[in-house]
A and B are shown apart, each in its own frame.
Chain A
Amino acid sequence: MFVLTLSVIFIMLYEIRLTKFTDKLPFLRSIPGLKAIEEAVGRSTEMGKPILFVPGIMDMNEVETVAGVVVLGHVANMTAKYETELDVPVARAIVMQAARQVSKEAYLTQGRPELYNEDMVHYITDDQFAYAAAVNGIMQRDEPAACLYMGKFFAESLLFAETGNSIGAIQIAGTGSQTQIPFFVTACDYTLMGEEFFAASAYLSQEADLIAGITAQDLIKVILVIVILFGTVSRALFDLGLVSFDFITLIGI
């Protein structure tokens, strides 16, 4: 296990070093959901309606929530540029403070500090369903033009997606919670599925070091596929008695 973690770290560092030689960013295929975010912000500005950003219902001790807050940073950059109203109801106070840091920084880098108001990011309650009830209420009354759900979700994901659909908003969701991806896929316009969501912050940042992380992930994926194929072949040979060892049981995963 130690070997595997070390190798993951090593591959990441190797990829980062690679980016040092070329100043061109490594190639990444397009993810439809991410392009749609910019469109959604533009559309909300035209309609003069706010954007609703839901960073999931869990606390910052979940990697998905941190990833969601980082994506919020990039969205805040856009809303600062387009002067769109941003509303971020949160279910945890630590997430509230992190989201405030991220959005204040975004409004400063866009040179629009006067647009930033601390209460854009506001706490509702820690409880999952009370938060869902309140966010449903916000959607019905403020009628945002775009709803973004980025973070860790549980059963309440469909409550958001169906309400958002009934008010006709563009909905873009991103989550690593496998059980909720089907609901987002069926009820939202765009969905960042599992790994696409974790890659979102690197895509939007356009920073070489972060994109190197993704190419490292791709390299590991190729290795995993090779291990699976090799394991299957060796097991087939083992079953047929041609070979005395079975690769997978040998390396004892």
Chain B
Amino acid sequence: MTLSAMIGAWIAVFLTLSIFSYLYKDNPFYKIAEHVFVGVSAAYVAAISFWTQIYPNLLGRLFPKDGPLSFTGLEFDFNHSFNILYVFPLLLGLMMILSVFQKFNWMARWGIAYTVAIAAGLKAFGYLNSNVLNQVSASVVSLFGENLPFFNISGDSVFNNIVLLLGTISSLMYFYFSKEQRGNFGKLTRVGIYFLMISFGASFGFAVMGRISLLVGRFRELIAYSEPSYNYSTIWLLFLIIAFLFYHSIREKESNT
């Protein structure tokens, strides 16, 4: 058990228990863990994005080994070939940094404009194809297939297909904006809402299972770190945190009575 793993385990247990203390109420331990998390993650993301983005992709492409700019002595060999186009993101990136000054605030607009442009251009078609087109062909159901039973709980059947057809169309009509939902159009959208509610209830049920399993993962790590080899870190820290919170709440009660 190296020293670094030991220290690491104690830090991990302290931070884990401090975040869990939030369930009790907002307290100093949660504030500490929250601010450590914000500080560390901001720098962690800065490091990851520099070393996996700017360093290989930008510098790698502007200063490749014996590329045109290697007279400057700068060389970053990532097996990329030289690409002059990468001056454009360099320019927009620097402008983004300069926009921190009040006077150059407008400089961020170029970077924003480019980002929104590719959001609209790249994403729009993907959604049209996979979300709209494939789903339309999937919603066309066969009602008189050869060996299609009238009802069968797990597998294709005429009843299931009718429910699918009705459900898809009525829920789609709920999102129809140009008509007030009254009269028999209102009845159709009401059926649509029922299907949507079943769909939300189902995915909520799925979510409950997923979230519980994450708690299983955390408790397993806390149990692992409470072993003698980590000299009972979880038990010690749990005792200390609870004692401090207990004392803290008593002092608070006295101060406001």
Contacts and interface: CB of A to CB of B under 8 A. Distances in A.
> Do A and B interact with each other, yes or no?
yes
Interface of A: 1, 4-5, 8, 26-30, 59-63, 65-66, 93-94, 97-98, 100-101, 118, 124-127, 129-130, 133-134, 136-137, 140-141, 158, 179, 181-183, 185-186, 193-196, 199, 214-215, 217-218, 221-222, 224-225, 227-229, 231-232, 235-236, 239-240, 248, 253
Interface of B: 19, 22, 26, 30-31, 33-34, 37-38, 40-42, 44-45, 49, 96, 99, 102, 105, 108-109, 111-112, 115-116, 118-120, 123-125, 128-129, 132-134, 136-137, 139-146, 165, 168-169, 172-173, 175-181, 196, 199-201, 203-204, 207
Nearest to B107: A97
Contacts of A28: 177-178
A29 B172 contact: no
Contacts, number: 175
Q: Interface of chain B, helix or strand or loop or mixed?
A: helix
B119 A224 contact: no
B115 A61 contact: yes
A239 B142 CA distance: 8
A29 B179 contact: yes
Given A29-B179, A140-B26, 4 more contacts: A1-B133, A61-B116, A228-B165, A228-B168
Nearest to A167: B26
Contact of A125 (B41, B176, B180, B207): B41
B45 A126 contact: yes
Contacts of B109: 97, 101
Contact of A137 (B34, B99, B165): B34
7 closest A-B pairs (Cβ-Cβ)?
A97-B108, A231-B140, A127-B41, A130-B41, A182-B200, A140-B26, A126-B45
B172 A240 contact: no
A227 B146 CA distance: 23
Contacts of A214: 177-178
B203 A133 contact: no
Contact of B22 (A126, A136, A222): A136
Contacts of B115: 59-61, 94
Contact of A235 (B124, B140, B172, B196): B140
Given A101-B112, A137-B34, A183 B207 contact: yes
Nearest to B201: A182
A60 B116 contact: yes
B175 A133 contact: no
A134 B38 contact: yes
B173 to A, nearest CB: 7
